[in-house]
Amino acid sequence: MPELFVITGSNGAGKSTVGPAYFPEHLQEVFDGDKLYLSRKSDLWRSGIRVQKELNRQASEFVEVTFINLVNSAISSRRDFAYEGHFSQDESLSILHQFKDNQYTLHLIFFGLENVDTSMDRVLIRAREGGHNVDLLTIRDNYFGNLRQLNDRRSLFNTIKVIDTSELEHKDLVFISEGTMLEALDIEQQPRWF
């Protein structure tokens, strides 16, 4: 049975930097829409487009079309697939249902941070170092929206691994397989956000 691996969580939680290390080795490439967006925007700038709104529109459209094509290709060839993204809105779940409807096993890896301020701080640091910035409202929506979706949609996934990435040393909080908790820190050791 083919498998879908998804990583989600707070902005700045490490999805792009350390997230792929949590996927199986045979999945060398993980779709990262943020990186593709920045790359495409840079290419468009070099091609002569200088209006920010147009750069954003074309880069966003390119990412969406590329992602949909990769999803369709993976499903039609029954290949394993991996991507990172946010599930803060119900609309973002349609891709998950598309894989589920095609008999994929769905694995979720969730990176959480102790609070929304930590998420904002990390995004600010990343932006200062040349990485992509995210506005504060989106950071807040993603922080709380991702937690809500994790709670409300957990039955959609065959496995869920929740990791606290607030500190340098990450903490595995819980591993759930087919609705059964197989591993978990004691409740006293669980962070308040979880």
CA distance 191 to 110: 14
Question: How far is CA 112 from each of CA 31, 44, 83, 166, rounded to the nearest angstrom?
Answer: 20, 33, 17, 7
Q: Which residues contact 150 (CB under 8 A, 6 or more apart)?
A: 8, 87, 108, 110, 160, 162
Q: Which of 20-24, 59-63, 109-113 has maximum average pLDDT?
A: 109-113
Residue 59 has pLDDT above 80, yes or no: yes
Model confidence pLDDT, tens digit, residues 63-112: 999 999 999 999 999 999 999 887 766 677 889 999 999 999 999 999 99
The fold of 3-35+79-189 is Rossmann fold (3.40.50)
What is the structure's pLDDT at 40?
92
Tally the residues of the chain. Answer: 194
Domain boundaries defined on the chain: 3-35+79-189
Output 193 or 133, whichever has higher pLDDT.
Answer: 193
Report pLDDT digits (tens) over 107-117: 999 999 999 99
pLDDT score for 18? 87
Q: Of 19-28, 47-56, 113-122, where does the model show the most confidence? A: 113-122
Question: H helices of the chain, where?
Answer: 33-46, 52-77, 94-101, 116-128, 136-152
Q: What share of the chain in percent tops pLDDT 90?
A: 64
pLDDT at 89: 66
CA distance 171 to 39: 32
CA distance 59 to 38: 8
Average pLDDT along the chain: 91
Residues linked to residue 8 through DSSP beta bridges, in sequence order: 110
Model pTM score: 0.89
Q: Report the Cα 158 to chain-centroid distance in Å.
A: 17
pLDDT of 121 over the 80 cut: yes
